Every structure is written in C-alpha cells, then in structure tokens.
C-alpha cells in the first residue's frame, strides 16, 4: 500500500462527524501510516483528547499558544508530516484556511503545510452556501484535494449534500496523494472480474476470477490522476475512490460497454476473465433435473479484446492479460501480435492468479522486451501503469 510508512497529520474539527475522524485515524494506521493529530477547541467538544493520544501514542496538538516550556508544534508538525488530511473539516475551518487565518491548531498547521486533503462535513445549507463553495474552489486551485461529501440524511435531520465522505474514500484519497500523476488528463478503461453465461435463469457458466487485479489497476490509475472507468463482472469488491464502475454480467454486455467507453479512451486494459463459450440456447425456464446426462451445447462468445484491437486508433494504448498454464511468454507474444496490443501482461495460472492478493507477472512489450515484476496486486499494477504511461508518451509524441 502506497501509504505504508508515510507520516500523516490528521486534522479534526468541530463537526458532529468528528468521531469518524477516529475511524479515519484507525484505517490510516491499519494501512501502515504513522499518524499525529491536531484538533480544534470545538473538535475537543466532540471527541476526547485522551482517545486520540491513546490511539496514536503521541501528544495531540490542541493549543495554538503552548503552555510555558511546551514545544512549539505547528511548524514541527508540518516539517514532520508527508501529508495533512483534515477529516472532518467544518465550514469554519475551510473558510479560515482559504483566508490564511491561523488561530486554531488545524488552520495554523494548514497554513504551514500549504496544501493537503480536506474532507468537508456540514449541514447542506452551509455546504451549498456560495461562500463555502468559493472557499473550496480557491483551495482546489491552490493544490488542495477535496473529498466531496455525500448526500443523504444529515445529523441535523435535513436531507442533502454535506455528509462526510465514506472513511474508505478518504483514506484512499490519502493513498492517491503519493502516486506520481503520470496519467493526469487521460481516460483509462479497465475491465475486471468474471463474466456469466446463463444456461437457464438460475445457472450459469463462469470462472473463479476475483477481479482483484482489475480493481487494483483501477485504483492505481485513479491515484495516478486518470479518469477511470471500470467495467466489472460480478465481484464482492467495492469500486475504488474516484472510479466510475459499470456493472455487467455477460460477455455481450461487457462487449457493448467496452466498445462504447473505448471510443473516448486513451488506454484500455483488459483484466477481466471473459468467458470464451456461451450456451447455444438459454432456457427461459429452470431446467428440471432428470435421471440421465444433460448435454449443453456451447458456441463461441465474441472476442472483446480482438474487437478493441481492431478499433484502435493512433495514440490509443491497449493492454491485454494472458493467463497461461504452459509456454507462458511464447503464447503471450503470439496473443499480443494477433490482437494488435501494445503490451501484454503474462501470468502463470499455476502460481495462483485467481483470488490471491500477491502475484508475479511478465510485462511484454511490442518489441519483445520483458519486464518481470512481483508483489501485491497494487504494486504490480503500479509497474504495469508506469509502463503504460511510457508507451502512451511514445505513441503521442510526434514521429
């Protein structure tokens, strides 16, 4: 995980969602970050300083003017931290930061950092107020990342936009902070997971793909600044932060979505395990079990990646995956040529491709160069996407 070993200063302010700041803290720690906390006076009305000190094992920065003999902490915190994350951020604190007012521990540390991540939480009228909107726009222009609040039932009883974003999204935004923005301004389409071909309304042919590799690619591509569309078969995974997911079931649905999204894409990565066969006939009723054998005749499904390769225009980059049981590199190279790909990622099915969080792959380029890489699926995804960014640069630069 990209945030492992990073030093994060977590700012907590006087919102009813302050208790979720504690959840953010725990999740950052779980992912390997070291965390110190700054909190406003109003924030301390909502959660206890002792809780934060016990969880971090560190003193909490809660006074702008230190008591006699205490360390002056706002500048040392900014020097120590790799990232300032304010969650939840009140309308008041956002306004102060955007004006450079340094009269609370959080706004003062923010002035020292210069930029960071803000997760606003407030009543919908406070959020929609043009003053708050202008303040947020100004901060975005200055390099701050804003994790948009969600809509729904608010603590004050109103319904609208202003609820603190999901903890998972806030923490992923923090992870994204540390990726090089190699894909900024690019649209990346990624397919993931397994397809289902129905035999009857309750039975289907599928495969054990977990979708983890495709989801890891989507997350890292979004971290690298891309607009990401994830076309996904059924999985139990949550879409990563800032990724638009299109859910599909069958190969036909996958094909339709892929061709449509590829039109305006810069990069297409086929990480889905797309079924090669579908029943010749799909029964509209549940097939009753009988005594004897049941024969199901199958026909080929459309080859989605080949169709994408045929549609590829100059400047677009297409990446395939090859899961093989034998002659790994040889078969991968053949597939790269046959399907008009720019890169192919070969992995051996023998080495536990399906379901595992770790993987080992060979990234094969058009001129036959091979890069071997292994690690977590996110680490491998980063290597693949760095290579994609390189190929993209080459494809775009004038010859």
Active-site residue, selected from the candidate residues 99, 112, 156, 236: 156
CB 154 → ligand FMN: shortest distance, Å? Answer: 8
> What residues numbered 88-117 form the site for ligand FMN, per CB under 6 A?
90-93, 104
Q: Which two tokens stand for residue 73?
A: 């902490």
Sign for the CA dihedral angle at 62, 84, 141, 230 comes to negative
CB 130 → ligand FMN: shortest distance, Å? Answer: 16
Sign for the CA dihedral angle at 373, 374, 377, 382 comes to negative
Q: Mark the segment that binds ligand FMN (CB under 6 A) among 40-48, 199-207, 228-236, 339-347.
A: 40-48
Q: Is residue 15 involved in binding ligand FMN (CB under 6 A)?
A: yes
112 is catalytic: no
CB 34 → ligand FMN: shortest distance, Å? Answer: 24
Q: Mark the segment that binds ligand FMN (CB under 6 A) among 48-56, 66-74, 119-127, 244-252.
A: 119-127
45 within 8 A of 19, measured Cβ to Cβ: no
Look at residues 219, 300, 316 and name the one whose alpha carbon lies nearest to residue 263: 316
Helix (H), strand (E) at residue 232: strand 227-232
- 160 versus 365: smaller Cβ distance to ligand FMN: 160
Look at residues 328, 322, 314, 313 and name the one whose alpha carbon lies nearest to residue 343: 322
- 121 versus 384: smaller Cβ distance to ligand FMN: 121
Q: Using CA atoms, how far apart are residues 205 and 183, in angstroms rounded to an integer? A: 36
- 44 versus 244: smaller Cβ distance to ligand FMN: 44
> What residues numbered 351-370 form the site for ligand FMN, per CB under 6 A?
none
- DSSP conformational letter for 104: S
> What residues numbered 158-217 form the site for ligand FMN, per CB under 6 A?
none
Site string for ligand FMN, 63-92 (x = CB under 6 A): ---------------------------xxx
- 135 versus 195: smaller Cβ distance to ligand FMN: 135
Task: Return the beta strands (E) in 147-186 as ranges.
Answer: 150-153, 159-163
Q: What is the 3-state secondary structure (H, E, C) of 72-93?
A: CHHHHHHHHCCEEEEEEECHHH
Q: Is residue 122 involved in binding ligand FMN (CB under 6 A)?
A: yes
Tell me which of 6, 9, 14, 118 binds ligand FMN, using CB under 6 A.
Answer: 14
Q: Calculate the dihedral angle through the C-alpha atoms of 234, 240, 243, 245, rounding to the nearest 10 degrees.
A: 10
User: What are residue 361's phi and psi, to 5 degrees?
Assistant: -135, 165
Q: Mark the segment that binds ligand FMN (CB under 6 A) among 39-47, 70-78, 226-234, 298-306.
A: 39-47
Residue 257's CB is within 10 A of a number of other CB atoms, namely 19
Look at residues 394, 393, 397 and name the one whose alpha carbon lies nearest to residue 183: 393
Tell me which of 42, 101, 102, 329 binds ligand FMN, using CB under 6 A.
Answer: 42
Size of the site for ligand FMN (CB under 6 A): 16
CB 176 → ligand FMN: shortest distance, Å? Answer: 24
Interface residues with ligand FMN (CB under 6 A)? 13-17, 40, 42-43, 90-93, 104, 121-122, 126
Q: Any idea which residues carry the catalytic annotation?
A: 156
């Amino acid at each position: 995980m990209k945030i492992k070993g990073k030093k994060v200063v977590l700012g907590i302010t006087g919102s009813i969602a302050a208790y979720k700041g504690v959840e953010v803290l725990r999740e950052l720690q779980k992912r390997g970050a070291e965390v110190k906390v700054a909190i406003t006076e109003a924030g301390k009305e909502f959660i206890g300083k002792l809780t934060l000190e016990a969880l971090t094992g560190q003193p909490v920065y809660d006074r702008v003017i230190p008591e006699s003999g205490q360390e002056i902490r706002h500048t040392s915190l900014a020097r120590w931290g790799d990232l300032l994350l304010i969650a939840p951020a009140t309308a008041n604190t956002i306004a102060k930061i955007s004006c450079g007012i340094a009269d609370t521990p959080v706004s003062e540390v923010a002035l020292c950092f210069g930029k960071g991540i803000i997760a606003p939480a407030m009543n919908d009228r406070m959020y929609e107020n043009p003053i708050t909107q202008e303040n947020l726009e100004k901060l975005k222009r200055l390099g701050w990342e804003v994790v948009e609040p969600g809509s729904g039932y608010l603590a004050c009883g109103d319904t609208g936009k202003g609820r603190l974003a999901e903890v998972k999204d806030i923490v992923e935004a923090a992870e994204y902070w540390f990726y090089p923005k190699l894909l900024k301004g690019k649209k990346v389409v990624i397919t993931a997971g397994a397809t289902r071909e129905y035999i009857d309304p309750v039975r289907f042919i599928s495969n054990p793909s977990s979708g983890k590799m495709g989801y890891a690619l989507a997350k890292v591509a979004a971290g690298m600044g891309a607009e990401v569309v994830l076309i996904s078969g059924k999985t139990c995974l949550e879409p990563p932060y800032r990724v638009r997911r299109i859910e599909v079931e069958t190969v036909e649905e996958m094909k339709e979505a892929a061709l449509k999204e590829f039109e305006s894409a810069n990069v297409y990565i086929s990480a889905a395990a797309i079924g090669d066969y579908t029943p010749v006939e799909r029964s509209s009723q549940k097939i009753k079990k009988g005594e004897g054998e049941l024969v199901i005749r199958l026909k080929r499904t459309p080859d989605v990646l080949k169709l994408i390769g045929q549609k590829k225009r100059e400047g677009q980059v297409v990446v395939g995956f090859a899961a093989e049981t034998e002659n790994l590199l040889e078969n991968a190279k053949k597939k790269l040529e046959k399907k008009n790909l720019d890169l192919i990622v070969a992995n051996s099915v023998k080495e536990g491709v399906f379901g595992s969080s770790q993987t080992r792959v060979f990234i094969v380029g058009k001129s036959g160069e091979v890069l071997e890489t292994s690690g977590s699926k996110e680490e491998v995804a980063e290597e693949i996407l760095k290579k994609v960014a390189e190929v993209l640069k080459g494809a775009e630069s004038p010859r």
